[in-house]
Amino acid sequence: MGLLIGVGNTVPKFPYQELWYGIRINLKNGGHNVADGKVERVGNLDLHRSLPIQKRIRRYVAREDGTVNYWLGANDSTLKEGGGAAKLNAVDGIVQLYKPDYYRKFEFDGEYLLVAISEVALPGFTRMKEKSRSPWLATFNRTNNKPTCASFLQWESTGSVKRVAETGLLDLLPNAAEYRGGTNVTGNDGKPTSVLGMPATSTNKATIRTRCKSLGDNWHCGGWRFREEMSWLMAIEFGELDSQAPYNAQKTEDGFAQGGLGNGSYVGGEWGAFNGYQPFIPAGITAKLGNNTGVVDYLIKEWKSGVDKTIKVASYRGWEQPQQYLWEHNDDVLVFYTPFADGGACKLYLCSDPAKFTTPSDHAGENVDGYQELGLLPTGSGYISEMGVANGYSFPSNVTGGAANKNYCDYFWRQTVNATNNADGWYQLLSSAYAGYSEHSGVRCANAISRGANAGTDWGFPLCLEFPSSEGI
């Protein structure tokens, strides 16, 4: 196996070795990056420097029919590509983040796992079809319930977010109230705890799914596949499995990216006291970063009585705050626990057809149309130490020996099925983790303890767009 795409201890020699780049992970090493020997950059090192696949990830504004209205400025999403002001407030369409077609290969070779990517089709590589999703979590039009991804922020000429001079609160665009986030509570408008301009929460998957379909058949909230792909694009770019590693804008001496997105956790009790775990980061606060990776400061007024708080908000290639903010619904995966008598195993199921996304009743039979079993999730809760691979995707498979600073550095939560708790059956899989968690909540963390109908004030959703037969947009 190693001879085909060049893993093992010898230098590969084959006609296409310059056409891919990736990382080789030492499965016996307890570290998490290039510096500690856990990860090695392999393939064409010039591609590691130029990052041709990652550089094609970009923000745009989509029409409801899924076509591109216009691309956003590479270095500033408040502008259109080529110049002119963009309208991100749902007037011109739905803000999206485009991930291009490329090809990917997972290969286990003894004590190593290779993750390789290429812009061109190569033997043994799987096509990862183009997809898009909201660059930040979505909201609803509160009149017709149609979902959208929008930003209602206004900006000063200096690049700072615009605020009301007298209060220091955000000075939002006039139609923000039509798309109020959180639980749509109106009583906090005009206060520091306002959810104007925030993502919508407290809506279950079935309702979100129905509302997405009101836009068209290809709109959905199945963002797990997008997240899984982006997690590896990040790891390959940074040479780092810990997405919460400190942010570092500097390249290494060899010209490679390094670091992560930082640890953006907050004291959960303070958040609860502030606004009852409603969203607190306005959608699009990283707009001025464009498609670049970076971290911005955002000031929250009256986080505690008489005390403001400045927080860090990260964006990876235009993907705003992909971890440590709100739990995130995923409609393209389901989790099934077998009965106690059958071992209480935890199985992950994947569906790639939005027409078949569903929420089975808690104790429905295991066969659900359109969902294919990927494999077994870990037997207990803990930090992820190993990833399984099936059907072109990866998933947490073990937590033994995991830690916040070892291997994948993210946490997996699961149910325990016993003879009396009736905990077998179907669950949803949540991503991202809420902001009260610290090292638990990187880009790969996964929560399999909530039934499919559940929702919460700190649960948001991505608005995703499928391109079922497209060769590119």
> What are the average pLDDT values for consecutive 10-residue runs of the chain, which has 473 residues?
38 68 97 98 98 99 98 99 97 99 96 98 96 99 99 98 98 99 98 98 99 98 99 99 97 97 86 96 98 98 96 97 96 99 98 98 97 98 98 98 96 97 98 86 96 98 90 62
- Return the pLDDT at 4: 39
Q: How many other C-beta atoms lie within 10 A of the C-beta of residue 26?
A: 15
Question: Cα separation of 462 and 460, whole Å?
Answer: 7
Question: Cα separation of 287 and 151, whole Å?
Answer: 9
DSSP 75-118: TEEEEETTSSB--TTTTS-EEEEEE--EEEEEEEETTEEEEEEE
Q: How many other C-beta atoms lie within 10 A of the C-beta of residue 387?
A: 23
Question: Cα separation of 462 and 134, whole Å?
Answer: 6
Query: Can you say whether residue 370 is alpha, beta or left, with left for phi > 0 and alpha for psi between -120 and 50 degrees?
Result: left
Q: Could you give the C-alpha distances from 396 to 34, 76, 77, 389, in angstroms and in order?
A: 21, 35, 34, 9
- Return the pLDDT at 15: 59
- Return the pLDDT at 468: 82
* C-alpha 246: how far from chain center: 18
Tokens representing 56?
A: 């094609």
The values of phi and psi at residue 147, to 5°, are: -75, 155
Question: Cα separation of 68 and 58, whole Å?
Answer: 12
Question: Cα separation of 151 and 77, whole Å?
Answer: 10
